[in-house]
A and B are shown apart, each in its own frame.
Chain A
Amino acid sequence: KGDSQTLRKAMAVAQHHDAVSGTEKQHVANDYARRLANGWQHCQVLVSNSLASLSGSAAKRIYCDHLNISVCPLTESSRQFSVSVYNPLAQPLTWPVRLPVNGTAYRVTDAEGKPVDSQVLPVSRATQEVRRNRGFALNELVFQVRAPPLGYSTYAASLIQDRPPPPPPRH
């Protein structure tokens, strides 16, 4: 059972001027972060339930909260996975997706099975340093997704090539 109340309450606490401007003591900052993370955990269940209802699929949904540092255990280890993109805007969306992977070539298709142009790039050196021992992806799978206003779209990715050398940098 999911709920949005936990995040709502955490957001309410974080309206304090110290939280907004970052002038709280460090242990208070840690507590704000803990409350917000807990709230998001509850919301994830709610979002999963909504998407299951809309899509008619009860498949377990995974959230990757560390995509900004190229960490996502599912995409790093799976040979075949799907990505659902929910667009909260009231206008169509085109958005670049970067997913940490360990293969070097993937076939990406949209919901109708049409191929989508995708590329695999090596993870940047800075990212490797930032994430330290938290992620193992060598590469990132990059492709553009589209989603309708206030709606979602789904893309499928499957590994077609494992471990050839990554493309060399041009400079």
Chain B
Amino acid sequence: GAPIVIQNKYLQATFDPDTGLLSSLSNLETKQTIKLTQNFYWYNASDGINKDSHQPSGAYIFRPNSSTLSTVSRTAKAENFQTSVVQEVRQWFAPWVSQVVRLYADSKALELEWTVGPVPVSDGQGKEVITRLDTSIKTAEFFYTDSNGREVLQRKKDFRPTWQLKQTEPIAGNYYPINSRAFIKDDKDQLTVVTDRSQGGSSIQNGSLEIMLHRRLLYDDYRGVGEPLDEASEIFPEGLVVRGRLLLSLERPASAADTHRPLAQEVVFQPLLTFTDGDLK
């Protein structure tokens, strides 16, 4: 019944014992705490049969057929390992979705290593799988993504800074590219997510940040590629399995970049490991 807690000298992450999901994140240096729930969801991809538009979701076009998300699982089976080098909680959501939440001893970031796939499509529904971080941060419809890995731009839901927007796609119309990081913030707290690859993301609800992880679609979008986005491999003929990492940092807005800039550099320019058998004198 007690919450699962992983902690180092910088961060503390708490998990709800009933659901196995993250429930809060604290920065122990700055003494800030936010409510933080994270889970996995999927949008049902549009098949093009829609009164507003015949555009199916495909390689070029992200177009869910409604704004309603399906939850992969409301709870996760969780295992907790605590050692002097790393503390981790392994979460199992479904046969095709799992995650390891890690906190290394000297790290100022919480690592979420997600594994998604093969995405099941035997129900005839194409799926666009996301993870969503729901927080207590008061975002007032603003969020921030980087456009090219350098410049972080302010985004506002259903708004464009240079023209009067008539929003026709309530989800896809609010998605933006994330190349290395995205964040949400208010006066006190900034939650930054550093990604290990280019992804799409948005903040549809205040205080939330969602990031696209995987897509498996059943129809071509008629934009030129000529085939549905339905990748498989020799090892996984039933659909691609994808694994990636998100790094979360919680800081005061004024000093958040001091953490997320070096963090993103370490992700982009990762060290190169080589091995030799035996003792290398």
- Chain A residues with CB under 8 Å of B83's CB are 119, 121, 142
The answer, yes or no, to whether B275 is at the interface (CB within 8 Å) is: yes
> Is A24 a contact partner of B266 (Cβ separation < 8 A)?
no
Contact code string A124-161 (vs B, CB < 8 Å = 1, else 0): 11110110101000000011110100000010101000
> Is A78 a contact partner of B86 (Cβ separation < 8 A)?
no
Expressed in whole angstroms, the Cα–Cα distance for A65 and B99 within the complex equals 21
> Is A144 a contact partner of B105 (Cβ separation < 8 A)?
yes
> Is B271 a contact partner of A87 (Cβ separation < 8 A)?
yes
Contacts A23-B225, A97-B273, A125-B98; is A82 near B279 (CB within 8 Å)? yes
- Interface-centre pick from A93, A124, A127 (highest chain B CB count, 10 A): A124
> Is B275 a contact partner of A171 (Cβ separation < 8 A)?
no
> Is B85 a contact partner of A142 (Cβ separation < 8 A)?
yes
Nearest Cβ on chain B to A109's Cβ, whole angstroms: 10
Nearest Cβ on chain B to A80's Cβ, whole angstroms: 6
Expressed in whole angstroms, the Cα–Cα distance for A64 and B84 within the complex equals 26
Expressed in whole angstroms, the Cα–Cα distance for A161 and B262 within the complex equals 37
Contact code string B82-111 (vs A, CB < 8 Å = 1, else 0): 111110101010010011100011110000
> Is A156 a contact partner of B280 (Cβ separation < 8 A)?
yes
The answer, yes or no, to whether A7 is at the interface (CB within 8 Å) is: no
The answer, yes or no, to whether A13 is at the interface (CB within 8 Å) is: no
Name the residue on B nearest A48 (C-beta): B274
Expressed in whole angstroms, the Cα–Cα distance for A93 and B99 within the complex equals 26
Contacts A169-B81, A171-B78; is A121 near B274 (CB within 8 Å)? no
Counting chain B residues whose Cβ lies within 8 A of the other chain, the interface size class is 35 or more
Counting chain A residues whose Cβ lies within 8 A of the other chain, the interface size class is 35 or more
The answer, yes or no, to whether A22 is at the interface (CB within 8 Å) is: yes
> Is A60 a contact partner of B104 (Cβ separation < 8 A)?
no
The answer, yes or no, to whether A72 is at the interface (CB within 8 Å) is: yes
- Chain B residues with CB under 8 Å of A95's CB are 266, 270-271
> Is B275 a contact partner of A88 (Cβ separation < 8 A)?
no
Nearest Cβ on chain A to B155's Cβ, whole angstroms: 19
Among A64, A83, A147, A170, the residue within 8 A (CB) of B82 is: A170
The answer, yes or no, to whether A47 is at the interface (CB within 8 Å) is: yes
The answer, yes or no, to whether A91 is at the interface (CB within 8 Å) is: yes
Expressed in whole angstroms, the Cα–Cα distance for A149 and B171 within the complex equals 43
- Chain A residues with CB under 8 Å of B17's CB are 171
Name the residue on B nearest A127 (C-beta): B115
Complex A-B, nearest 5 residue pairs according to Cβ-Cβ distance, in ascending order = A126-B98, A82-B280, A119-B83, A169-B79, A61-B274
29 contacts between A and B (CB under 8 A): A21-B60, A22-B59, A23-B59, A23-B60, A23-B223, A23-B225, A48-B274, A60-B277, A61-B274, A62-B275, A68-B243, A80-B277, A80-B278, A86-B272, A88-B271, A93-B266, A119-B83, A119-B85, A119-B86, A125-B98, A127-B115, A129-B95, A130-B241, A130-B243, A144-B106, A156-B279, A158-B279, A170-B81, A171-B80
